[in-house]
C-alpha cells in the first residue's frame, strides 16, 4: 500500500510537471505568435510607408511632366485631344497603339497619373530603365506570354485606387489598321472592378509608320470614345466586351486619310520600308525589296515604289498603293504558299541573345535565322514548330520568342531592313495548324 501511495505521489508530481511544461510551452507559443503578429504589422506599415513615398514620387514626376512637356508635344505632333480630367477613377484605360510615344499622348489627355503596362524589353534600356522604374513604375508584360502576372498587377493597382493604361492590341500597327485586341481583354475589363475608358488615337500611324526611323510632322487626335461603369461591365459577357472594345478602338489610317487628306512631312520617308513589306506585287517574289531614302526597289524585277507625305506608295506600274492593302496581299500570298506546300522558307542574318530571368541579355550570337514549314534554325540550333511557345515583334523589327515549357526567352535582331513581320505571320499560321 505504501508503495502504491509513493507511486501515486511520483505520478502526480510528474503530471504536475508535465502540465506546467505544457502551460509554459503554450505561453511561449502565445508570445511567439504575438511577436510574429507584431513583426508582420510592422512590416506591413513599413511597406505602406514605402508605397506611399513611391506613389508620391510618381505623382510628383507626373506633375512635372504635365507642366514642362505638354506644350512641347502638343506643338510637335499638332495634337488635339478630349480631356479625361472629368473622368472619375480608378479606371482601366484601353487605347490603340501606333507610335512609341502613344503613352505620352494618353498622359497629356489624362488628368490624374496613370500606370502604364509596358513591354518587358524596356527593362534593358540602362539609364532609361532606371528612370522609368523610379518615376513611372510601369507594369511589365513579356510579349508572347499569357500575362497572368501582369493581369494580377493591373487588378492590384486598380484596387489601390490608381488608374492603369493598357494598349489592347499588345503591339503597334504595321499597316495603319488597329489589330484585334488580346482575347482576355474583355475578361480583364470586367474582373477589374473599375470603370473602363476607351481612347482612340488618330494620326499616330502616319506620324510614325512602324518601319520609319523618325517622326513625321502632321496631325494627331485623341478621342475619348466611351466610359463604361462597373455596373455596365457586369451586365456584359466577355465576348460582348471584346466586341465593344474592338469597335471603340478601331482606326483605319487610310480611311481617315481619304477624308482628311493631311500631309505628314519628313525626311527619308521610304527608308526601311522593307522591314514591313516583304513581297513584290509585280513579280510576286518575297525577300527581294530594298529601300533607300526615297524609294524601294525589287531586286528581281526592277519594280519601284516611293512613299509620299500622305502615306501612299506611288509605284512604277502606275498604281497607287497603301500599306494596309499591300500588307493584306502579302500576308495572303505567304499563307497561300504555306497551305499549298510551295513555301520555300525565309532566311536572314541576325544577332541572338538569351534573356535571363533578371531581364538582362546574354552574350550576342550572330548567325543565320531560317524558318521553314518544319520550324526555325538560329544560333546553330534547330527548333521544331512545337518547341516555339510564343513569338512577338517589338520596336521596329525585333523578335521576342519563347521556347518550350520553360519558355526560354530569345531576342533576335537584324539590320535596318530586317523583316520580322513575315516570321510573325508564319508563326501565327503554324500555330493555328498545330492547334487544330
Mean pLDDT by 10 residues, the chain (436 residues): 54 59 68 77 74 81 87 95 93 94 94 85 75 78 69 91 91 93 88 94 96 94 96 93 95 95 96 97 97 97 98 97 98 95 92 84 89 83 82 89 75 94 90 41
Closest CA to 407 of 26, 107, 144: 144
Topology of the domain comprising 345-435? PH-domain like (2.30.29)
Give dist(CA 305, CA 35) in Å, integer. Answer: 75
Q: Are 369 and 381 in contact (CB under 8 A)?
A: no
Specify the pLDDT at position 314: 98
Q: Which residues pair with 200 in a beta bridge?
A: 223
SS3 call for 151: helix
Give dist(CA 208, CA 225) in Å, integer. Answer: 23
Give dist(CA 112, CA 88) in Å, integer. Answer: 10
H-helix or E-strand spanning residue 40: helix 2-76
pTM of the model: 0.85
Specify the pLDDT at position 408: 81
Closest CA to 174 of 324, 374, 387, 309: 324
Give dist(CA 9, CA 16) in Å, integer. Answer: 10
Give dist(CA 346, CA 339) in Å, integer. Answer: 16
Report how far apart the first and last C-alpha atoms of the chain are (Å, whole number): 88
Can 68-260 and 345-435 be said to share one CATH topology? no
Cell numbers given for 426? 508564319
302 Rama sector, left if φ>0, alpha if ψ -120 to 50, beta otherwise? left
Q: Are 311 and 323 in contact (CB under 8 A)?
A: yes
Cell numbers given for 207? 506620324
Q: Where are the domains of the chain?
A: 68-260, 273-331, 345-435
- What is the signed CA dihedral for 353, 275, 385, 400, rounded to 10 degrees? 40
DSSP 8-class letter at 85: T
Q: Helices marked H in 160-195 — which ranges? A: 185-191
Cell numbers given for 122? 524596356
Give dist(CA 298, CA 283) in Å, integer. Answer: 9
Q: Considering the domain 68-260, what is its CATH architecture? A: 3-Layer(aba) Sandwich (3.40)
Amino acid at each position: 500500500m505504501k508503495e502504491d501511495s509513493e507511486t501515486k505521489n511520483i505520478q502526480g508530481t510528474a503530471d504536475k510537471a508535465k502540465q506546467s511544461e505544457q502551460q509554459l510551452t503554450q505561453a511561449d507559443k502565445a508570445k511567439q505568435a504575438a511577436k510574429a503578429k507584431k513583426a508582420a504589422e510592422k512590416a506591413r506599415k513599413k511597406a505602406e510607408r514605402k508605397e506611399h513615398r513611391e506613389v508620391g514620387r510618381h505623382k510628383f514626376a507626373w506633375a512635372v511632366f504635365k507642366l514642362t512637356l505638354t506644350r512641347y508635344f502638343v506643338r510637335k505632333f499638332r495634337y488635339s485631344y478630349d480631356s479625361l480630367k472629368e473622368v472619375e477613377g480608378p479606371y482601366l484605360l484601353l487605347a490603340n497603339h501606333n507610335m512609341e510615344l502613344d503613352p505620352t499622348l494618353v498622359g497629356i489627355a489624362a488628368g490624374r497619373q496613370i500606370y502604364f503596362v509596358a513591354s518587358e524589353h524596356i527593362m534593358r534600356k540602362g539609364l532609361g530603365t532606371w528612370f522609368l522604374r523610379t518615376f513611372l513604375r510601369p507594369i511589365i508584360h513579356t510579349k508572347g506570354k499569357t500575362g497572368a502576372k501582369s493581369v494580377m498587377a493591373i487588378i492590384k493597382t486598380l484596387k489601390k485606387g490608381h488608374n492603369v493604361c493598357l494598349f489592347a492590341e499588345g503591339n503597334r500597327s504595321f499597316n495603319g489598321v488597329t489589330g484585334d485586341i488580346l482575347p482576355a481583354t474583355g475578361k480583364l475589363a470586367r474582373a477589374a472592378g473599375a470603370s473602363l475608358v476607351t481612347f482612340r488615337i488618330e494620326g499616330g500611324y502616319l506620324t510614325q509608320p512602324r518601319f520609319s526611323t523618325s517622326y513625321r510632322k502632321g496631325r494627331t487626335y485623341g478621342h475619348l470614345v466611351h466610359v463604361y461603369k462597373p455596373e455596365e461591365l457586369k451586365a456584359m459577357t466577355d465576348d460582348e466586351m471584346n466586341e465593344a472594345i474592338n469597335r471603340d478602338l478601331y482606326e483605319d489610317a487610310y480611311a481617315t486619310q481619304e477624308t482628311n487628306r493631311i500631309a505628314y512631312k519628313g525626311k527619308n520617308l521610304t527608308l526601311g520600308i522593307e522591314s514591313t513589306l516583304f513581297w513584290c506585287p509585280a513579280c510576286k517574289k518575297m525577300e527581294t525589296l530594298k529601300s533607300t531614302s526615297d524609294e524601294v526597289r525589287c531586286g528581281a524585277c526592277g519594280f519601284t515604289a516611293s512613299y509620299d507625305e500622305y502615306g501612299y506608295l506611288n509605284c512604277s506600274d502606275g498604281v497607287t498603293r497603301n500599306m494596309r492593302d499591300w500588307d493584306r496581299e502579302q500576308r495572303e500570298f505567304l499563307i497561300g504558299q504555306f497551305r499549298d506546300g510551295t513555301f520555300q522558307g525565309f532566311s536572314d542574318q541576325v544577332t541572338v541573345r538569351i534573356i535571363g530571368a533578371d531581364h538582362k541579355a546574354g552574350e550576342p550570337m550572330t548567325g543565320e535565322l531560317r524558318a521553314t514549314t518544319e520550324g526555325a534554325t538560329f544560333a546553330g540550333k534547330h527548333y521544331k514548330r512545337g518547341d516555339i511557345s510564343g513569338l512577338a515583334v517589338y520596336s521596329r523589327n525585333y523578335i521576342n520568342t519563347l521556347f518550350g515549357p520553360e519558355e526560354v526567352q530569345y531576342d533576335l535582331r537584324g539590320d535596318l531592313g530586317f523583316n520580322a513581320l513575315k516570321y510573325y505571320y508564319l508563326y501565327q499560321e503554324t500555330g493555328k495548324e498545330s492547334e487544330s
